[in-house]
A and B are shown apart, each in its own frame.
Chain A
Amino acid sequence: MTGLERIRRAVLFERVDHTPVAPLLGAHAAALAGLGHDRACRDAGVQAEALLHAVEAYEPDAIFTLMDLSAEPEALGAGVASEEGQPPVVVRHLTREDLETERLEQRILTSRVPVFIETVSRLRAALGDSVCIGALISGPLTATANAVGIADLARMLRRDREGITGLLDRLTDACVALQKSHAEAGAHAVVILEPVATTAILGPADLEALLLPRLQAVTEAARRLGLISILHVCGDCRRSLPLLARAGAHALSLDSPVEMTSAREIVGTRSALMGNLDVLRLLPYGRPEEVRRAVRDLIAPMQRGFILSSGCELPEQTPRANVAEMIAAARR
């Protein structure tokens, strides 16, 4: 069974030979290959080389492009800066008016975004269908938040409902256009990143009224393109899970604060689950034995419909032995 087959079967709750393993290797992969994180976010050749090196080193079932939440805002016109070795960050946000000037579906495909699309294309050329190739993209809320700034987004949620609704619609269209480009480049999966949709920021009422229908539009579009859709939410989103389960994603990628068996009870078979080894302590600082135990404890009750992953992108300093152990433990 290939990695891609394993992932495809897992999201359909079908039997697999072993639990698929798909850590978000991005930043760690760049460091492992001795290539700068900033360079990998600016050069498709560098990013593909780093990710292929990680595929060779760890043989995961899926490989994902780097997590760079500044790429879409930069394409939309936000100012971005990065220091050597560090990922780019947004340093100048846009106004609502900036985002109302032209068609975002075209604008989002400019600037550094083609680096990620080209990376997908290179990965597909090198790996074919042996490994699931996933493109990480900002979801509509997160793209909006990183474009206008999270404080302005939060104020708009209360003071300018019409404005935020319009922006989210435009960013949803942009998001759909972006995943189409990734599908054309050869992606098997798209990971829709919504770290801003954590419960503290977006309460259940806002999630249901504002984000859920737009996430459904994105996952529906992904299905039409034949993509596996994975919705990733960071932090503690336990209270939002009943709604996230309705987003229509093949899989929900959850962070370590969420207990996976409770998540399974809430989500049922509406979405497979992916996650959620702790990336703040266990993976970067724990011992391989601890990683092995955590993997065993996590996998045992999950049965079908589960993909083992990190709760979020692996920190670059994560020891190679811990990543190797994570993958080996899932296959024992």
Chain B
Amino acid sequence: MPLQSSPVLSYRDDFSFRNSPAAIRRFPFPFVEDSYLYSVNIEPATSRDPGSIYEHAFDIDEHYRSEMAERALVLDKDPRRYLVMPHMQVAAWDALQMIMQHLAADYPQSFSLTQNGERWQWRNHLLDIDQHFIFGDATSLPCAPLEYIGRQVQGDFALLDQRDGDLYMDAGLITSPADWSLAFDAGMSFKQWHAPVPMAHQMGVFERALKYLLNLQVGQPVRRLNWTLTINPRLDSSPETFHEWGADRGRITAQNVGQQVHLRVELQVMARLPRSHAVMFSIRTYLISLDELVTQPGWGCRLHRVLRDLPDPIADYKGMTRYRSTLVEWLSQFDPHA
């Protein structure tokens, strides 16, 4: 499927980011019921629904160039968003291989990969890249492998080392986090980096999730959806820049709600990396303004009920406390029972 060549839109400053009608239709609305409660909600990451975000292992959409430009801005400004501990080199190459092979197979008009033993050639027509390199030799690439491929694929990536019956966040490229810091979380175990999440620990959610992930097999990835809200289509909603964007939460009014409040959905895919035995945790973020969202039948109504009834600790954790009542009030117009 040929990718549209759209102009580069921005996720900061003037926030020119918009979704086309096609992007709105394929947006992964995450709520299947009128209320939300944690569950492990993991499913096998098999290809389904051609044209949807689930068709390919790594989803490239109309925002590709915009997102790659944004990523470059974040990395150039703050190198702490990228980290690979020395023992994660093999995992980084595993990730490069997995991403390149899938992109070349799924989007042959945009990417191609030729492998001749260790001599590889990678072409990215969207960014005008033609790169010969030696697989496994970082000096043959302009930068280290995870950063190299990370600058050419949408989504954040964390590489988790599996050891001592646990998973450790020992590498990653994270430029669009929903309020968490790779620089701080680096080196943490699975439960440690999930420590701030309210309510889920008592429910045993993380015990079950960890057990499941430790048993991931090569070729059998799994996925789940995660969601939160963001003011403006700001991809980089990191703790690092919170002092720059946090105040936006206090500026929501009944007039600007539809334009400024965005639903942020993460497609999280967990895959076993073959040679390193590490787990690749990829986080592909989709943003939609509420004005765009309510054009889809039923979405406004369902979102109203979810946000109205969301337990306070979860609402606070997702950062919506200051504008929640304004938001719920605005959404009630889409709910026939409100």
Whether A associates with B in a native complex is no
A interface with B by C-beta (< 8 Å) = none
